[in-house]
Structure 1
């Protein structure tokens, strides 16, 4: 049965893949995002586009009114001076719009670790948003809790090109679940298409857990640098590197908190895997289909 589904954050990796999947399934899709080339491409693919900022509750309410369901997310803002305050503002705007539009069904992009009140860095923001959505009378919500995004490794391209390494403050031997964003979009599409139990939580944990050492090996093999090393940076050096890369001091501090607690295996590392939470895309497949083309494109763009 065809539905009218609204997708927020529609130009991101997850949102964009979700819009295309829902269109292929025959649904009427309204894509909400800021104007961009990616936004125009969604319109060309058949989506109705609603340009807007998620802080704009009135505009968002207009987009949601009359829809059967919505995919909700709080797009990351890594440059915000107070990241959790930014997440709260967007989160409250989303909830106000859902209430005003009298929406009945939503799938919310949360995160592994969202069951914990503290110690998870930026994930604390989605912990609070889950609680806000639970408090909306008459709204059926499914909560997606994906693991660490494989797409995060794209940030290492510059490091590989200029220093010949992959690096972060994460322990090299720490195995934790990693997921490709296309698998998150596929799960969201499945829930929006088939329906779900109100209040249900859906973990998406990739096919297995990987270590950063394994990540370096897989990427190194794929780009013709089989000896590519993984380097664990001291926490202060990693944080300084994030700020130099354009993250706000606050966001760098939140990532630092999360990494320290993951390294000590306090958060987001040992989620129990089930057949339902296991998603198909392997690290090798992600590297071949997403990382290598991005790396080659960045290398081609380098001045000779």
Structure 2
């Protein structure tokens, strides 16, 4: 059965993969993102595109009305002066639009550790959004709770090129689950394109292929880019926060990331989730390193070379 499926965040890593996969399966896709220019590739692939702001309740209500299902998320805004307030305002607008539109089926992008109400930094925002969506009468919703994105290592390319190290505030030996965003999109596509979602509210963990430590991550990335000597350096929290702010993050966002890292380092969350065949996905960090990280590294390294 052909479905009409709305994909918000359609130009992001997950939304882009998801929209293209749903089109490949023959479904009618309405792709939503801020930029019409960035939506052009999806328009050419056959999607209906609706550029606009998810904070615009009237706009989003109109987009969702009549759809069979939707993929929902809170797009990140790392420069927001108060990040949790940003997530709350946007989440409330999305929930209002879902309620007003009469949408009955949704897959919502949440996060590992979203079952916890505090102490998890930016994940607190998606915890609150789960509660908002759960309160909407008549909405059947599946919350996807994926592990740490492998794509989060891409910003470290600048650190590798500039300082010859890989580093963060995370303890080098703490092992936790990591996932490629393409696997999240594939899981969401299977839910949205399949039979009707289960009734009520459900949460599904997605834990990637296995747990990795930052020492292992660094060795895998280093091998893929031909720099086997690359060391991993654990930064003090204050230094890591200043580094994030220097890279353009707001003090609020940097502080939330530090809070999340402190919880991870204390092994209070994320590291003890029970792995099952249902929540284990296939793309390994080794595959990600070869297919995504190494090409991005080579492109950045080439761009950094002086023109002779």
* Shared fold per TM-score greater than 0.5: yes
Root mean square deviation, CA, Å: 0.8
The size of the alignment, in residue pairs, is: 304
Corresponding residue for 1:90? 90
CA shift at 1:37, angstroms?
3.9
CA shift at 1:94, angstroms?
0.7
Q: Work out the CA distance in 1 between the residues paired with 2:203 and 2:140.
A: 12
Corresponding residue for 2:213? 211
CA shift at 1:303, angstroms?
3.8
CA shift at 1:38, angstroms?
3.0
1:30 aligned onto 2:26:
no
Matches within 5 A, 1:171-210: 171-194=171-194, 195-198=196-199, 199-210=201-212
Matches within 5 A, 1:39-78: 39-78=39-78
Partners of 2:151 and 2:180 within 8 A in 1: yes
Structure 2 unaligned residues grouped into runs of 5+ = none
Corresponding residue for 2:101? 101
Matches within 5 A, 1:258-269: 258-269=260-271
Matches within 5 A, 1:132-143: 132-143=132-143
Q: Work out the CA distance in 1 between the residues paired with 2:98 and 2:203.
A: 20
SS at match of 1:178: strand
Corresponding residue for 1:256? 258
Structure 1 unaligned residues grouped into runs of 5+ = none
TM (normalized to structure 2)?
0.97
Q: Work out the CA distance in 2 between the residues paired with 1:38 and 1:263.
A: 37
Corresponding residue for 1:167? 167
Corresponding residue for 1:128? 128
TM (normalized to structure 1)?
0.99
Partners of 1:167 and 1:232 within 8 A in 2: yes
Specify which of 270, 273, 288 is matched with residue 272 of structure 2: 270
Partners of 1:119 and 1:257 within 8 A in 2: yes
CA shift at 1:36, angstroms?
4.9
Q: Work out the CA distance in 2 between the residues paired with 1:219 and 1:273.
A: 24
Matches within 5 A, 1:202-241: 202-241=204-243
Deviation string 1:136-182 (CA, Å, 9 cap, x unpaired) is 00000001000000000001000000111100000100000000000
Matches within 5 A, 1:9-28: 9-28=9-28
SS at match of 1:272: coil
